[in-house]
């Protein structure tokens, strides 16, 4: 049985990384595909864990060599999903989760229409501003730019399969877990399988 692709997306600052990291602490049977980015590393981030931090030249070389499933330029920085890891895990029957920007999710939808697309939304734009300010990594100009982008991105929420309001991280993680469990139980996952093929995964 082919693995299932889960795509977690939403505006910058909504808490995608926090929710994803909390999920992976509890779910050891789902793989996380680390994205590549040209943005500067933030305090506490580790190359290869949060992102593969690369130069603009390196990123453009990855685009040229068709090494990315999707990529986008967002607020002056490039972001993209390395192709090889995702394709290998899905082919091996393993589930994988991507944490990506809205533009990237739109590209992935075209290549993986049977993927599960989950939109992580803030309780309000004002709360989103507070979260970005608390991060302390952008000046007011950048924050305003991100909020303007977020307003446009919120309108794309209706293109997704599920929406989770990230008010309290623990609640958001529980909802994400519920979606994963439900999707793994869908009847189409079992069509064509014989009795001996069933497992509790």
For the sheet with 162-165, list strands across it.
30-33, 95-100, 5-9, 116-121, 162-165
122 is in an annotated binding site: no
17 is in an annotated binding site: yes
2 is in an annotated binding site: no
The rounded distance, in Å, linking the Cα atoms of 183 and 189 is 9
The answer to whether the annotation marks 192 as part of a ligand binding site is: no
The answer on whether 15 is annotated among ligand-binding residues is yes
Is 55 annotated in a binding site? The answer is: no
Contact 112, 5 (CB under 8 A): yes
Torsions phi, psi for 183 (to 5 deg): -65, -35
Residue 11 assigned ligand-binding role: yes
201 is in an annotated binding site: no
What residue numbers does the annotated binding site cover?
A: 10-17
What residue numbers does the annotated binding site for ATP cover?
A: 10-17
């Amino acid at each position: 049985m082919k693995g299932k692709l889960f795509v977690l997306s939403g505006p910058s600052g909504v808490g995608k990384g926090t929710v994803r990291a909390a999920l992976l602490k509890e779910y050891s049977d789902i793989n996380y595909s680390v994205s590549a980015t040209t943005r500067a590393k933030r305090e506490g981030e580790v190359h290869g864990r949060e992102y593969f931090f690369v130069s603009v030249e390196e990123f453009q070389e990855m685009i040229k060599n068709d090494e990315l499933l999707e990529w986008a330029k967002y607020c002056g920085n490039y972001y993209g999903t390395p192709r090889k890891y995702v394709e290998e895990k899905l082919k091996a029957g393993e589930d994988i989760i991507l944490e990506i920007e809205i533009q990237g999710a739109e590209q992935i939808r075209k290549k993986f229409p049977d993927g599960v697309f989950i939109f992580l939304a803030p309780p309000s734009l004002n709360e989103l501003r507070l979260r970005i300010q608390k991060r302390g990594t952008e000046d007011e100009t950048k924050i305003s730019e991100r909020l303007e982008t977020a307003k446009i991105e919120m309108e794309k929420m209706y293109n997704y399969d599920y929406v989770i309001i990230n008010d309290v991280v623990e609640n958001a993680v529980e909802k994400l877990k519920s979606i994963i469990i439900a999707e793994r139980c869908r009847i189409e996952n079992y069509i064509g399988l014989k009795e001996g093929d069933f497992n509790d995964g």
